[in-house]
Amino acid sequence: MFSLRHNDALQIVTALRSHSKDISVIGLVVDYTKSLLTHITGEGFIHIRRTANGVANRLAHFALHIEGSLYWFEEPPDFISDILYEDCNS
């Protein structure tokens, strides 16, 4: 299983936000990703600490253990309701 540490994710975001050419081992991947991101997001992304992004973290862990697709249209799933409440009321 692939897991990112805080510093790894921060380094990736820093590389993707840089306007210089990346000459590292993964430079081609970084440059290609930058190209794709400008079309998708207009370069609107930042690094957020895992502790400040509990809902995304919990959903990512959940997604690792399911097969198929799940959809929620009205109410959020129970397993993230507590974190959503905390995020919206802090």
Cα 53 to Cα 87: distance, rounded to the nearest angstrom? 9
Residues 83, 56 share a domain: yes
Residues 60, 84 share a domain: yes
Identify whether 1 is part of a domain.
no
Residues 57, 32 share a domain: no
Q: What pLDDT, in 10s, does the model give residues 78-88?
A: 888 888 887 77
Cα 17 to Cα 54: distance, rounded to the nearest angstrom? 23
Identify whether 71 is part of a domain.
yes
- Indicate the pTM of the whole model: 0.47
Identify whether 45 is part of a domain.
no
* Residues of the domain holding 33: 6-40
* Predicted pLDDT of residue 21: 83
Taking residues 56-65, report their average pLDDT: 85
Determine contact, residues 82/50, Cβ cutoff 8 Å: no
Identify whether 25 is part of a domain.
yes
Identify whether 64 is part of a domain.
yes
* Predicted pLDDT of residue 85: 82
Half-sphere exposure of 13 (CA within 13 A, CB side): 13
The total number of structural domains in the chain stands at: 2
* Predicted pLDDT of residue 62: 87
Identify whether 84 is part of a domain.
yes
The token pair at 54 is 């509990």
